[in-house]
Structure 1
Amino acid sequence: MAEAVTGGSGLRFEMDGEIATVTLNRPEKRNAQTFATWSALARIGEDLPEQVRVVVVRGEGPSFSSGLDLGMFAPEPEPPAQHPEPAQHRGTERVPGTDSFAAAAARGDAELRRLIAEAQRGFLWLRRPDIVSIAAVQGHAIGAGFQLALACDLRIVADDVMFCMKEPALGLVPDLTGTKPLVDIVGVPRAIEICLTARVVGAAEALRLGLAELAVPPDELGRAVRDLTAALLAVDREAATATKRLLQGAPQRTLEEQAAAERAEQAARIRSLFAGS
C-alpha cells in the first residue's frame, strides 16, 4: 500500500491497487477543514493515478468532519512590524491570515470568487465517471463535512451520523458544490428546510431521504465499505464508466434524449467487445 501525507492540509492519501483512500486526518479538531484542505483535495484529484477505480473518503477518529475550522472566522491580524531581513529569506513567510475569511475578503470580489472556485475543485472531481466515490461517514458531518459526503457518489454511514448544513446559521451559504446533490436527492422543499433550520439529520432519516445507501454500527463501517468496494470492482471498468455517464446525464435529458445516449454508449461497448472477433 502506497501512502502520502499532505503536510499542513489535514489529509492523508493512500493507494491499494485500484482503491484510493482519502482520510481527513485532524481528529483533534474533529477533522475541521480549511482552504489548505480543499487545495490539497483538488491536487489529489488532479494527480489521481489512472488505475484507481474506487475512491473512499473517510475521517480519522469519531467524526467524519465538523466542517469549517473556526480559525477561519478570526479577524485578520495586524501586519507585523517591518524589519530588514536577508534577501534569501524574503518571500518565504506565510501571508498572515491566508486561511481566514477576513484575509480572503480583503482580496476583492474577483480574487474571492477564484479562491472559492479553487476550493470547489476539491469536491468536483469526486463525480468523475471513471471512478466511484464512497463517503464512509461517522459522527459529525457538519457543513463542509456534509458537502464532502454529498460530493461522493455513495454514502455509507454509521448509525451515529449527524448530517447538518450549518452554513446559513453562520451567515454563509453552502458553496462547496453541496446544494445540487442535496436538491437532487431530497427535493427543493426538504433541502430548504434542512439548510435554513441547520438541524441535524440522523442515520434513520438519511436512509429514508436517500442521503445514505446503508447505515451500520460504527464498528462495522469499515467492513461495509470494503464489501461495497469489492462489489464495485467486480464489474467491468469500461461498462461501469459508461453506465455512470448515462446515469449522471439522465436528469437533464428527455426520455428520447436518454434513449439516444444509451444507443451511443451501447454501440461503443459492442464495437469495443466484438469488432474484429
Structure 2
Amino acid sequence: MTTAAIDPELLTRGGLTFDVDGPRATITLARPEALNAQTPATWEALREIGESLPGEVRAVVVRGAGRAFSAGLDRRFFTATEVDGQPGLSGIAALTDDEADAAIAGYQAGFSWLRDPARVTVAAVQGHAIGAGFQLALACDLRVVADDVQFCMAETGLGIVPDLGGTYPLVHAVGYARAVEICLSGRRVGADEAVSTGLALRSVPRAELDGAVDAAVAALVTAPPKAAAETLRLLTGVAEGADPAQALAAERAAQLRRLRSLAAGEG
C-alpha cells in the first residue's frame, strides 16, 4: 500500500489519511477522539484528493476511524465567527452573496467528485453518521453499514439546511416523502431501515464491516475498467432523470464506443 502524493499537511489539517493500493483508494476520517467531526479543511482535503486521484484507481472507500463514521460539523463552527482561518457559520452569513456562494460551492466540491462515474465509491459506515457525516456517506455510490449505524440529517433541527450535496442522493435513495420525514424530524435511521429503504446496500455486524467492504470492492472491480465506467455513466444518467428514450440512446452510444474500442484492441 502506498500513500498518494497529497500534501500531508493538508491531510493532517483536514483530519484525513489517504492510501492507494492498486485499483483501490481508501480515505479515512482520522479524528476518532472528536468522532471524526469535519471542518472546512476536511472538505478542502477531500477536494484535493478528488483532483489528484491516480488514474488507475477504480474504487474509493470512505471510512471513519474509531466508533463513529462522522458526527458531522465540528461544533466550533456553530459558535465562532472564524475557526482555523475559515469562516464559521456566522462568518459565512457576513459574506457577500457571491463570496458565500463561492465558499459553499468549494465545500460541496469535496463531496461531489465521489459521484464521478470514472470509478465506484463505497462508504463503510459504523456508529454515528450525522449531518455532514450523513451527507458524506450519501455522496458515495454505495453504503455498506455496520449494525450499529445511526444516520441522522440534523441540520434542519439546528436552524440550517443540508448543503453539502446530500438532498439529491437522499431523495433518490429513499423517495421524497421519506426524505422529508428524515430531514425535518432529525430522527435516527438504523441499519435495518437503511437496508430496507435502499439507503444502504447491506448491513453486517460491526466486526465484519471491513471484510464486507473488502469483498464488495473486490467484486466491483472485476469488470474491465472501460466497460465498468461506461456502465456507471449509464446508471448515473438514469438516476439523474434521463427518460426511457434518452436511456436507450445513451446505451446505444456507449455500446458503440465499447465495440469500437474492443475492435481496436484497446480493451
The two structures have a TM-score, normalised by structure 2, of 0.94
For 1:40, which of 42, 45, 52 is the aligned residue? 45
Match of 1:65 in 2: 70
Q: Does 1:10 align with 2:15?
A: yes
Shift of 1:126: 0.3
Q: Percent identity?
A: 55
CA contact (8 A) 1:76 1:96 kept: no
Distance in 2 between the 1:175 and 1:215 partners? 27
Letter in structure 2 aligned against 1:260: A
Letter in structure 2 aligned against 1:187: G
Q: Does 1:192 align with 2:192?
A: no
| Cα distance per residue 1:155-209 (max 9 Å; x no partner) | 0000000000000011110000000000011111110000000000000000011
Distance in 2 between the 1:71 and 1:276 partners? 55
Match of 1:163 in 2: 151
Q: Does 1:254 align with 2:247?
A: no
Give matches, 1:56-205, under 5 Å.
Answer: 56-76=61-81, 98-205=86-193
Where 1:146 maps in the other structure, the secondary structure is helix
Letter in structure 2 aligned against 1:47: S
Letter in structure 2 aligned against 1:65: S
Shift of 1:96: 6.8
Provide structure 2 residue ranges, at least 5 long, that are not aligned to the other structure.
none
Match of 2:263 in 1: 274
Length, aligned pairs only? 260
The 10-residue stretch of structure 1 (192-201 or 97-106) with the greater mean CA deviation from structure 2: 97-106
| Cα distance per residue 1:113-165 (max 9 Å; x no partner) | 11100000000100111110000000000000000000000000000000000
Distance in 1 between the 2:264 and 2:225 partners? 18
Distance in 1 between the 2:220 and 2:129 partners? 25
| Cα distance per residue 1:15-39 (max 9 Å; x no partner) | 1111100000110100000111111
Distance in 2 between the 1:223 and 1:10 partners? 24
Distance in 2 between the 1:192 and 1:128 partners? 26
Distance in 2 between the 1:47 and 1:273 partners? 28
Where 2:86 maps in the other structure, the secondary structure is coil
Change (3 A) 1:275 1:51: closer
Shift of 1:256: 1.6
Change (3 A) 1:96 1:64: closer
Distance in 2 between the 1:43 and 1:181 partners? 22
Match of 1:238 in 2: 226
Match of 1:90 in 2: none
Shift of 1:275: 4.2
CA contact (8 A) 2:145 2:202 kept: yes
Distance in 2 between the 1:276 and 1:221 partners? 39
Match of 1:265 in 2: 254
Letter in structure 2 aligned against 1:55: V
Letter in structure 2 aligned against 1:256: A
Say what the alpha-carbon RMSD is for the aligned residues.
1.6
Match of 1:220 in 2: 208
Distance in 1 between the 2:261 and 2:153 partners? 44
CA contact (8 A) 2:92 2:100 kept: yes
Q: Which has the larger radius of gyration?
A: 1
Where 1:8 maps in the other structure, the secondary structure is helix
| Cα distance per residue 1:90-126 (max 9 Å; x no partner) | xxxxx87624222222222211111100000000100
The two structures have a TM-score, normalised by structure 1, of 0.90
